[in-house]
A and B are shown apart, each in its own frame.
Chain A
């Protein structure tokens, strides 16, 4: 459960979610990851460390580069979180259809 909490905490930050979303498109170096943000490279590195400690991303050594990529848990977290939103909304509205139909039958609503 500790890891799950660490993952939730890691995912609670919008910058880190955006970093994960970027890494979902493919591996990238710190400088590539820093580019779209109005933040310094050390600040981005700090966020990457949180993601790494939560087991959401990994890095590999490629000469002088250390590209980051999503770990399995990171892929699952991103997918879970994104798919959850759409699926949850669709399910909600199907339930709302039933609630509205029920209220209509009861005649409590016009």
Chain B
């Protein structure tokens, strides 16, 4: 099979629209992962009896099962219990919740790194617990974990290809559909791979720059 330039050019618009879906899934998914992960981390750290244990199990369970299985269950099993959503919405929620288990662990390490003296100073000033979290602890905890979260963003961007399995029509889905209709897989899959790389490579550089910016002066 030899590379066909004109075919490659002709499928570019289609693949770009797939890339756009991938980006949308990633941005919506990371939003869920960042918010849910933070809530999970704070609740786990707060050692609320039972509640913290349940969220601890949530993290272990999600990290212990494959994303693909979670996606299948959400898309093919849950509808028979009356929970049915579009493939896109299901995919975003599944990948967002999946990553929330990982971001929760990242946040947790950031929170644990905050000096206990900071908590003690807040107590000594009678700052309420909520204020202590939002103004004292989290700003310091987040600063150190932003690069790690950035890496998860890039990883999610690539992992979202798995969602093709539940018919989310993203970059991978477009590439495979083009392949099966033209019986040419070389061009669509190569270009898809290149597009993933062209986004994730500069992004990882940005994360590294961020890392250097945030690292010193604490």
Tell whether A and B belong to one assembly: no
Residues of A participating in the B interface, judged by any CB pair closer than 8 Å: none
